[in-house]
Amino acid sequence: MRKLILALLLIACTLNIAAENYPYRSDYLWVTVPNHADWLYECGENATIEVQFYKYGIPRDGQISWKLSNDMLQTDKQGTATLKNGRCNINIGSRKIPGFRDLNLAVNIDGTTYVHHIKVGFSVNKITPYTKEPSDFVSFWDAQKKSLKQTLSYTRERAEEYCTDKILCDLIKLKVDNKHSVYAYLTYPRNMKQGNHPICICPPGAGIKTIKEPLRHKYYAENGFLRLEMEIHGIDPRTPEKTFREIQSAFQTDGNNYLDNGLDNRDNYYMRHVYLALIRATDFMTSLPEWDGKNVAFQGGSQGGALAMVAAGIDNRVTQCVANHPALSDMAGYAEEGRTGGYPHFKKAKGMLTPEKIKVMAYYDVVNFARHITCPTYMTWGYNDNTCPPTTSYAVYNVLKCEKEALITPVNEHWTSDATEYGHMKWIQRHLK
């Protein structure tokens, strides 16, 4: 009887979790519905947004304050609208040139201010990047790759804490050059066979941090992949979290960020060895006797999405590329008045958008690597993203000349769902050679 009661409680809890509403356990809900179902318009078309606000599931009346801007830029129009029975309509106008408009909303209900925003696009397939390709872009990176022609050097030890009944996990320390190393967790099937397994390499999102949850994507190894979860700073991921926070405080503040470091000279920029680490990671993975000898996929999001596209553009061994909302894209865009730029949003730091630094950025901008990608590429992004704005994702996607596919999830801010991320693996599987 006790076992039966426990089983029923477990089922009840499971059903309860499955029945949670969106957004998760929130007392209030904004619903914003553009009059074009796909949130897209042509330049010159007016966009109208139906706004709904609910608290405890009940439509509420109130006065909305709204502000309008182009994607990531300053407010250029503002006003108010009245919620009646929890609803109102706001005409946000149009754009003369391709890009996004951002409607920011605020309403005070019961003494609390609630905020929301929604972006809609205009002639998005005509968005072009500000960033131009340097004439010696290819020869510069060819020279950097040649500098890596040395013996592959790494250590490999079992990470028992991340092994399961189906997969094994090893901690790798991989030497990039004479000065730099990176760490990574390698997961693989317990029953793997020589010459039988595709590779998937996952670079990290931005920040100085440990490798988060190496088993979060364990389904790659469970489905026969050799998967490498990387970091880029050469810090052992077993380092205590407190130490990571101290390092972040010292080396990840405005004006002292690794993404700012060395931008005065293309040979000294911090990301140079990071990009070369992608080559070295591929060297390591393709040296494994279990690799199938054909498939080398890169997959990542944000900075990781950027690095996945860099790898695909710099190394013709890459056979599949998956990137969601790639960072480091059209970074110098802000240098032109009225134009949106990409993460890390160099307009926020003084002295970053000088002609000299803009010239160096071009050698590291994802836009220019995307121009050289030849393998099948899958991109995902949302419109409400204020970290890696949709303008720059389109700037990248529109320059791709390879076989390409997009999953666009307009409501997403800077996140992807578990279902979308699992879909990345399924897409790679469908494109295996």
User: pLDDT tens digits for 151-196?
Assistant: 899 999 999 999 999 999 999 999 999 899 999 999 999 999 999 9
Q: What is the mean pLDDT of residues 40-59?
A: 97
| Residues 55 and 375: beta-carbon distance below 8 Å | no
The burial of 135, by beta-carbon neighbours within 10 Å (0-12 exposed, 13-18 middle, 19 or more buried), is given as exposed
- Distance, CA of 111 to CA of 97 (rounded, Å): 40
- The reported pLDDT for the residue numbered 401 is 98
Predicted confidence (pLDDT) at residue 79 exceeds the cutoff of 80: yes
| Residues 38 and 410: beta-carbon distance below 8 Å | yes
pTM over 0.85: yes
Q: What is the mean pLDDT of residues 129-147?
A: 97
Q: Active-site positions?
A: 302, 385, 414
Beta-carbon count within 10 A of 154 CB: 16
- Distance, CA of 405 to CA of 424 (rounded, Å): 11
- Distance, CA of 367 to CA of 333 (rounded, Å): 11
Mean pLDDT, the chain, integer: 93
Q: Which residues pair with 69 in a beta bridge?
A: 75, 102
- Distance, CA of 177 to CA of 32 (rounded, Å): 51
Q: Which is higher by pLDDT, 220 or 3?
A: 220
Strand, helix or coil for residue 86: coil
Q: How confident is the model at residue 22 (pLDDT cuts 50, 70, 90)?
A: low
**What domains does the chain contain, in order, with CATH numbers?**
21-126 (2.60.40.1940), 137-430 (3.40.50.1820)
- Sequence-distant (6+) residues with CB within 8 A of 210 are 231, 235, 237, 238, 239, 241, 244
Question: Can you spell out the DSSP letters for 327-356?
Answer: SSSSGGGGGSTT----TT-GGGSTT-S-HH
| Residues 198 and 293: beta-carbon distance below 8 Å | no
